[in-house]
Amino acid sequence: MKPYRVPRRINDPLIVFFVTLDQFIPIFIALILGYTFKAAVEATLFAFMYFKVTNYFITNHPRGYVEHALWYSGLMPLKLGSKAADPLKREFIK
C-alpha cells in the first residue's frame, strides 16, 4: 500500500526534508557538483544563498512576481503562445 501525502493547503508543494521540491533540486545539484569538483564550500554558500533568496520571494511576494518584474523591466521577453499575437508583426489580416 502506497502512503498518501495529505497537503496542508490547496496546491501545497511537496516538501523534501525542510524545503519545497522547487528549492531542493537546485540546492541538491549545487552540492553534488560542488563535492564532485572539490568546491564544497562555494557550493554550500551558493545553496544557502539560493535558499534564502527563494524563501524571501516565496514568503513576501505572490507566485510569478520575479517573472513579471523581469518582463516589466524588459529583461525577459513575453512567452508567445497560440493565444497571443506577435507584437512585432505589422499586418494581421491579408
Write down the domain spans for the chain. Answer: 15-73
In angstroms, the first-to-last Cα distance of the chain is: 61
Statement: the pTM of the whole predicted model exceeds 0.85 = no
For all residues of the chain together, what is the average pLDDT? 81
Tell me the three-class secondary structure of the chain, residue by residue: CCCCCCCCCCCCCCEECCEEHHHHHHHHHHHHHHHHCCCHHHHHHHHHHHHHHHHHHHHHCCCCHHHHHHHHHCCCCCCCCCCCCCCCCCCCCC
**Is the per-residue pLDDT at 6 higher than 70?**
no
pLDDT of residue 19: 82
Higher pLDDT, 2 or 33: 33
11-36 pLDDT per residue, tens: 777 778 888 888 889 999 999 999 99
